[in-house]
């Protein structure tokens, strides 16, 4: 089988359609792949004869380009960890190998910054009046690594977590229940929201003092 590049056609300002001719005897098959301008430059493609390795490189580059476009569309709806983004790409029918390569390239290109997106996630959780345990659990659930989660959680050093607990109490009950059973229910609820026992006690004290 002989392989050649028939054409390189621009598709807008950022993409190029690469069309191959694959000839076996008298049979000629044409196939086209959509690549980014940067990919075409990196592969040093030109019209004319090439080998099977060139064809396979272009085929993989096209799959990678599609995955990256899909990933950027996903990111337009909100932050993602690397793991979560890869999982979403696989759910859309992209192979794990291509998904992982696409996510890695997005990180290198600055399109995906797990540390920054994790910090923003912590800020959103604080706005929801969540305690540190629930915030950490949310980060792990979204696929952030141990190191990224620990680094993002440092932002809580600038937050008055007891005050968050006070605001959560005021939002839920308006104050400290006098009935012991209701108080136990309140404490259980605050623990589910991720507050530590020491923070809950201090929050109770602040409310009672005011």
26 and 85 in a single domain? The answer is yes
What is d(CA 104, CA 208) in angstroms, rounded to the nearest whole number? 52
Q: Tell me which residue range forms the domain holding 192.
A: 161-209
Supply the pTM of this predicted model.
Answer: 0.75
Q: Residue 172 is part of a domain; what is its CATH number?
A: 1.10.10
Query: What's the pLDDT tens digit per position in 2-57?
Result: 888 999 999 988 999 999 998 888 888 999 999 999 999 999 999 998 888 999 99
What is d(CA 26, CA 2) in angstroms, rounded to the nearest whole number? 11
Which residue, 43, 44, 52, is CA-closest to 22? 52
59 and 147 in a single domain? The answer is no
Counting as low any pLDDT under 70, the low residues of the chain are none
Give me the number of domains the chain comprises.
Answer: 3
Which residue, 167, 177, 153, is CA-closest to 199? 167
172 and 145 in a single domain? The answer is no
């Amino acid at each position: 089988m002989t392989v050649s590049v028939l054409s390189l056609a621009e598709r807008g300002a950022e993409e190029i359609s690469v069309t191959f001719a694959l000839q076996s005897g008298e049979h000629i098959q044409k196939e086209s792949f959509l690549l980014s301008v940067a990919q075409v430059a990196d592969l040093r493609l030109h019209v004319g004869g090439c080998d099977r390795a060139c064809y396979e490189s272009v085929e993989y580059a096209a799959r990678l380009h599609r995955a990256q476009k899909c990933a950027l569309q996903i990111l337009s709806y909100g932050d993602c960890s690397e793991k979560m983004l890869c999982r979403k790409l696989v759910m859309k029918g992209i192979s794990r190998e291509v998904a992982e390569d696409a996510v890695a390239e997005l990180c290198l290109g600055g399109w995906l910054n797990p540390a920054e997106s994790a910090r923003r996630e912590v800020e959103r959780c604080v706005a929801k009046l969540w305690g540190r345990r629930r915030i950490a659990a949310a980060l792990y659930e979204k696929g952030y690594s141990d190191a990224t989660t620990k680094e993002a959680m440092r932002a809580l050093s600038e937050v008055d977590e007891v005050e968050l607990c006070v605001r959560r109490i005021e939002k839920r009950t308006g104050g400290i229940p006098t009935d012991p059973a209701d108080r136990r229910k309140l404490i259980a609820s605050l623990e589910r929201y991720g507050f530590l026992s020491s923070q809950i006690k201090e929050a109770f004290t602040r409310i009672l003092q005011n």
